[in-house]
């Protein structure tokens, strides 16, 4: 599925040209449960298809717990400060962040904020799916 979804993601009209592709990392516990990071799989495919380097820029600064049953306000509060840029990584000025699902945008906003604080001036997002309630 990762190959098919990343292909579809690269065919989005207006996908920006950037210096690097990265992904929203899973929490350690979720990674151990699943055995893979779906956003990383998608980011690798997007990067390969666009000819852009794929670099793991972000890390989870703290565990946020499951977001599924939280409303938008609670999600934003839970995600505040959830990400940090990895040690000894220079963040380029333009970054494409890849994630699997966009629900309220709280996770994407927290990831973008960490990247902007580390020097990115342009942060874009592409997701495989958009959740609606």
Q: What is the full per-residue pLDDT of the chain (133 aa) written as tens digits?
A: 888 999 999 998 888 999 999 999 988 888 888 889 999 999 999 999 999 999 999 998 877 766 667 777 777 777 788 899 998 889 999 999 999 999 888 899 999 999 999 999 999 999 999 888 6
Looking at residue 68, its pLDDT comes to 67
Strand 122-130 relative to strand 20-23, pairing: unpaired
Looking at residue 104, its pLDDT comes to 85
The rounded distance, in Å, linking the Cα atoms of 114 and 127 is: 18
Domain ranges within the chain, ordered by starting residue: 2-130
- Give, in order, the Cα–Cα distances in Å from 102 to each of 4, 52, 86, 109, 119: 18, 23, 23, 11, 24
Fold of 2-130: Rossmann fold (3.40.50)
Looking at residue 79, its pLDDT comes to 79
- Give this prediction's pTM: 0.89
Q: Contact, 74 vs 37, CB < 8 A?
A: no
């Amino acid at each position: 599925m990762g190959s098919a979804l990343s292909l579809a993601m690269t065919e989005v009209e207006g996908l920006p040209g950037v210096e690097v592709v990265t992904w929203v990392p899973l929490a350690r516990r979720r990674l151990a449960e699943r055995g893979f990071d779906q956003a990383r799989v998608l980011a690798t495919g997007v990067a390969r298809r666009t000819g852009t380097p794929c670099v793991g820029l972000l890390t989870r600064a703290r565990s946020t717990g499951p977001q599924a049953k939280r409303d938008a306000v609670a999600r934003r509060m839970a995600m505040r400060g959830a990400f940090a840029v990895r040690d000894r990584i220079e963040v380029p000025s333009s970054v494409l962040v890849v994630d699997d699902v966009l629900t309220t945008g709280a996770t994407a906003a927290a990831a973008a904020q960490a990247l902007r604080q580390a020097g990115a001036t342009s942060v874009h997002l592409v997701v495989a799916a958009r959740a609606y309630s």
